[in-house]
Amino acid sequence: MNTANSPLWMNRRKTLPAQTANRPALSFSRLNNLRRFSPFSPPGHARLPSAGKTLKTIPTRVTACPEVVHMAVPLILASGSAIRADLLRRAGLDFTIQVPRVDEDTVRRSLEASQATARDIADALAEMKARRIADKNPAGMVLGCDQVLDLGGAILAKPESPEQAVEQLTAMQGRPHQLLSAAVLYEDARPVWRHVGVVRMQMRALSPGFIKGYVARNWDSVRHSVGAYKLEEEGVRLFSKIDGDVFSILGMPLIEFLNYLDTRGLLDT
Distance CA(105)–CA(82), nearest Å, equals 20
Q: Which helix (H) or strand (E) holds 87?
A: helix 82-90
Tens of pLDDT, residues 230-250: 988 999 999 999 999 999 999
Cβ atoms of 252 and 84 within 8 Å: the answer is yes
Distance CA(144)–CA(130), nearest Å, equals 4
- In order of their start, the domains of the chain are 75-263 (3.90.950.10)
Distance CA(269)–CA(264), nearest Å, equals 12
User: Is 146 one of the annotated active-site residues of the chain?
Assistant: yes
Q: Which helix (H) or strand (E) holds 108?
A: helix 104-113
Catalytic one of 86, 94, 120, 146: 146
Distance CA(146)–CA(124), nearest Å, equals 9
Tens of pLDDT, residues 111-148: 999 999 999 999 999 999 999 999 999 989 999 999 99
pLDDT at 184: 98
Q: Which amino acid does the sequence have at 229?
A: Y
Distance CA(97)–CA(75), nearest Å, equals 9
pLDDT at 255: 97
Helices (H), 114-264: 118-134, 162-172, 208-222, 246-249, 254-263
From residue 101, how far is each of 109, 128, 130, 243 by CA, in Å? 17, 10, 11, 33
Residue among 64, 145, 146, 142 at smallest CA distance from 98: 142
Angle at 175 between CA 174 and CA 179, to 5 degrees: 130
pLDDT at 75: 95
pLDDT at 23: 37
> Can you give the pLDDT of all 269 residues of the chain as single tens digits?
444 555 554 444 333 343 333 333 333 333 333 333 333 333 333 333 444 444 444 444 444 455 677 677 789 999 998 999 999 999 999 999 999 998 888 999 999 999 999 999 999 999 999 999 999 999 899 999 999 999 999 999 889 999 999 999 999 999 999 999 999 999 999 999 999 999 999 999 999 999 999 999 999 999 988 899 998 899 999 999 999 999 999 999 999 999 999 999 988 77
Q: Which helix (H) or strand (E) holds 85?
A: helix 82-90
